[in-house]
Amino acid sequence: MERKTLRKILHTLVDLLSHTEVIGLDNVPVEGACLIASNHLSRLDVSINYSIIERDDVTGLAADKYRNYPFFSWLVNLGGGIWLNRESADLHAFRAALDHLANGGALGIAPEGTRSRTGALIRAKNGVAYLADKARVPIIPMAICGSEAAMNELFHLRRPHIRIRIGPAFTLPPVDRRNRLMDLQKNTEEIMCRIAVMLPEQYHGAYANHPRLQELRLQVANSD
């Protein structure tokens, strides 16, 4: 099975089993390297996000632990996913991600590094900011809400309502080696606030009181 076929099958299943609303899909370029940074609420997020991005070269990073789940492992491998060991600095995964971007591909990634157990944003790690700095590619912020309750809704034979917003591409300033950790942290917070501003307030979590989020919210309000 080809990636294109897999994406069509997943898209059909998502449409059949859920009410998924996607806003801003035209912000994803039809070609060219980019990082698609999304919050992470459910194991279903990967399949949903993969199904809506209309590019055959889109792939993403997946935690090594899911190799033990036969269906999920099959799905990741078929979709050209990159396995990531979250317990260490996985240089192999990092190089594979850079190679994919260097070849003009789109790469989906969750800055938080794991699913949020609270249903709101948790503190992100600096890995996405580090990858973006090395690859020098634009970042597409994606905000998903509703998927955290999807499995429970499906279990009760109800179609969950999932909403996805995709924001415009942005780039981050280069990291200064003299202030590496500080710059990476600042860039990480920029990514997360760009995601947060597209989410309802109850999802803001760890970034609820971040000054940059307040700036972005004012920008949105003034543009309406």
Q: In the prediction, which pLDDT does 65 show?
A: 80
H-run or E-run covering 20: strand 19-23
Domain boundaries, the chain: 3-223
pLDDT digits (tens, 9 = 90+) for 55-88: 989 998 888 887 877 777 888 888 888 888 876 6
Q: Return the closest-CA partner of residue 9 out of 58, 50, 62, 70.
A: 50
**Which pLDDT belongs to residue 106?**
96
The CA-based angle 126-217-60, given to 5 degrees, is: 35
User: What integer pLDDT is reported at residue 85 of this predicted model?
Assistant: 81
Q: What is the pLDDT of residues 119-158, one digit of tens each?
A: 999 999 998 999 999 999 999 999 999 999 988 888 888 9
Residues 132-142: b if buried by 16+ CB within 10 A, e if exposed? bbebebbbbbb
Flag whether pLDDT at 105 surpasses 90: yes
Q: Which fold has domain 3-223?
A: Glycerol-3-phosphate (1)-acyltransferase (3.40.1130)
pLDDT attached to residue 1:
57
Which pLDDT does position 108 carry in this prediction? 93
Question: Residue 54's pLDDT is what?
Answer: 87
pLDDT of residue 224: 67
User: Does residue 192 have a pLDDT over 60?
Assistant: yes
> What are the tens digits of pLDDT across the range 13-62?
888 889 999 999 999 999 999 999 999 999 889 889 888 998 989 998 88
